[in-house]
Amino acid sequence: MSNTNKSTGTLTVGTTLINNGVAIVAGVSITAAAADVTVTLYDALTATSTVVFKHILDITIDGLSTYIQLPDIRCTTGLTAVVAGTGAEVQVHYR
């Protein structure tokens, strides 16, 4: 597996298969427009099975954006993201 970091580009509301196979998640950037944003990452090829990360950006507490550095979360099957929240924009940083 390559050690080169990648980014998904901007993900919006919905479900996205990011990687088929092994991936190491290093961080997540979250931006809200006017509503809270929920990001859930799965070690799977669909939005089922093992949740490896879940975060709710509460705009009344956290503001409109955040970056969360993660301790290299390993996904062995695949990496799928689910983004919820009107106007949400998310980037997943992985290798």
What are the pLDDT digits (tens) for 52-89?
Answer: 999 999 999 999 999 999 999 999 999 999 999 999 99
User: Is residue 1 situated within a structural domain?
Assistant: no
User: Is residue 80 situated within a structural domain?
Assistant: yes
User: Is residue 56 situated within a structural domain?
Assistant: yes
User: Is residue 83 situated within a structural domain?
Assistant: yes
Contacts for 7 with CB less than 8 Å, ≥ 6 apart: 91, 92, 93, 94
User: Is residue 28 situated within a structural domain?
Assistant: yes
Domain of residue 68, residue span: 6-94
Whether the CB-CB separation of 78 and 43 falls below 8 Å is answered with yes
pLDDT (0 to 100) of residue 4: 80
User: Is residue 89 situated within a structural domain?
Assistant: yes
What is the tally of structural domains in the chain? 1
Q: What is the CATH number of the domain that holds 83?
A: 2.60.120
What are the pLDDT digits (tens) for 14-51?
Answer: 999 999 999 999 999 999 998 999 999 999 999 998 99
